[in-house]
Amino acid sequence: MTKQSERFHEFMPDKVWKWKILEEKMDKVLALQDYQEIRLSVLQDSAVLNNGITALMQGAEADHAVQSVLSISLPESNLSLLSLRPEGTISVLHHTAKITNPGEVHRFYYSGPMFRKAEALKQMEFYQLGVELLGSESILSENEVISLGMKICQELGLKEVRLDMNSYGCTKCREPFFTDLRGYLEKRKDSFCGLCYNELYANPFSETRCKDADCQHSLKSGPQIGDYLCDTCKANFNKVKNIQANLGNVYKVNPHLYKNFAYYNETVFDFVATHEGREMVIGGGGRYDYLSAQITGKMIPAVGFYLNLDILFEIMEARGVFQTKPLDFKVYISSESENLEMMTLQIAQELHTQGIKTIISPEISTTAKETSRAKAKSCSLMLIIREDNIREGKILLRNLIKDHQDYVSLKDTVPAILLARKALKQE
């Protein structure tokens, strides 16, 4: 059985500095296009979440999604049941419906941990970026969002990322497709396994993840949404393809691009990376103009995407995107006498006001021992505070990089350290 620690993230400092680089690069691209960060609560009201999920999905998928939510039972029966957020779109729409006026466009993003019960009911945490452009039906918005996702992947070092696209049409043109596909399923019931039959019947766009060759073959030989698109949807999809091609984004039309969410309309897309010879979906999204009306009662046309940051992080690490951590200039402060706590902290504070990082040794021990500790902590300089020196108004400053030491007067300590830092930086 997988250990708890492998399913929940516990990032230690050796990973955190890399995550900060990833987030910094991501935030920079998003800020360039005026996407505003929002911070959603990790805890969500289970009832609100369930309503949202049943609007997002239907039938067996909705049941599955509801079951995959991690909830917290409270002993106090008068408190509402809470769940750990499995995604962010539902909260974002509820929030936006409260603040938005007709005609307003909002650009939001959020990132951080999401939680689900994974296969075999294992609980898991995963990091995700969610981007939503709300309030616009235009083709320009759709392309803005798709290009933004591509740009983020490229900035993170995944230059080869490709788009898989499809159109789910509008309510007008998808109805005849649904009817025909259901008719086809009924006629060819024997060529599908029970799971595919039930899931596809409930939502013809569902991703059944069934590997059965017969199911896949039968599905491919059946009706395809691409043949049902009305003139408007067809023209819109052609425009999206043209714009993406002209922007230099490689795309493939995948008529079998399925999403487990029935709420998408018109353009849907996946970001596909090739890593170690294997293609993998690292994110995706689409337009969802009808969803807000269903869960908030307010019509807000929308387009958005998610990126799986765990997968992105792994690929970035494997590709050496994170170079060696830049060495900090740090000063190790040790004292060889008792009762010099005040002096030690005062010197450290003075260094902090100059923006110099310090590591204070809490112990009284020999210079040799402290020197090896300072080196282990990658410090460049070391201050050794001794009572007899202090009485003479001086302090021992050891340069661990140059391997030499000097006494400096107490008042010259900070200038001497600044000078040493400058000299080391210039090398």
- Any contact of residue 212 with Zn ion (CB under 5 A)? yes
Number of helices and strands (H, E) in the chain?
16, 16
- Any contact of residue 207 with Zn ion (CB under 5 A)? no
- Any contact of residue 196 with Zn ion (CB under 5 A)? yes
Beta carbons of 379 and 400 less than 8 angstroms apart: yes
- Give per-residue burial for 17-56: e unless 16+ CB within 10 Å, then b: ebeebbeebbbebbeeeebeebebeeebebeebbebbbbb
- Any contact of residue 233 with Zn ion (CB under 5 A)? yes
Q: Which residues contact 380 (CB under 8 A, 6 or more apart)?
A: 329, 330, 331, 399, 400, 401, 420, 421, 424
- Contact pick of 55, 139, 145, 215 for Zn ion (by CB under 5 A): 215
With H, G, I as helix, E, B as strand and everything else as coil, classify residue 324. Answer: coil
- Contact pick of 210, 280, 414, 424 for Zn ion (by CB under 5 A): 210
Structure tokens at 325: 């951590």
Structure tokens at 177: 């497709």
Lay out the site mask for Zn ion across 9-28 (x = CB under 5 A, - = otherwise). Answer: --------------------
CB of 119 to Zn ion, least distance (A): 17
- At 397, the amino acid letter reads L
- Any contact of residue 139 with Zn ion (CB under 5 A)? no
**Distance in angstroms (rounded) separating the CA atoms of residues 205 and 409:** 76
- Any contact of residue 170 with Zn ion (CB under 5 A)? yes
CB of 190 to Zn ion, least distance (A): 12
Pairing of strands 404-409, 43-45: unpaired
Q: Which residues contact 183 (CB under 8 A, 6 or more apart)?
A: none
Beta carbons of 157 and 321 less than 8 angstroms apart: yes
CB of 292 to Zn ion, least distance (A): 19
- Contact pick of 56, 114, 163, 173 for Zn ion (by CB under 5 A): 173
Q: Which stretch binds Zn ion (CB under 5 A): 36-44, 166-174, 272-280, 380-388?
A: 166-174
Using the minimum distance from each CB to Zn ion, give the nearer residue, 2 or 232.
Answer: 232
Q: Which stretch binds Zn ion (CB under 5 A): 57-65, 72-80, 83-91, 208-216?
A: 208-216
CB of 306 to Zn ion, least distance (A): 25
Q: Which stretch binds Zn ion (CB under 5 A): 78-86, 115-123, 169-177, 297-305?
A: 169-177
- Any contact of residue 219 with Zn ion (CB under 5 A)? no
CB of 264 to Zn ion, least distance (A): 13
- Site for Zn ion, rule CB under 5 A: 169-170, 172-173, 193, 196, 210, 212, 215, 230, 233
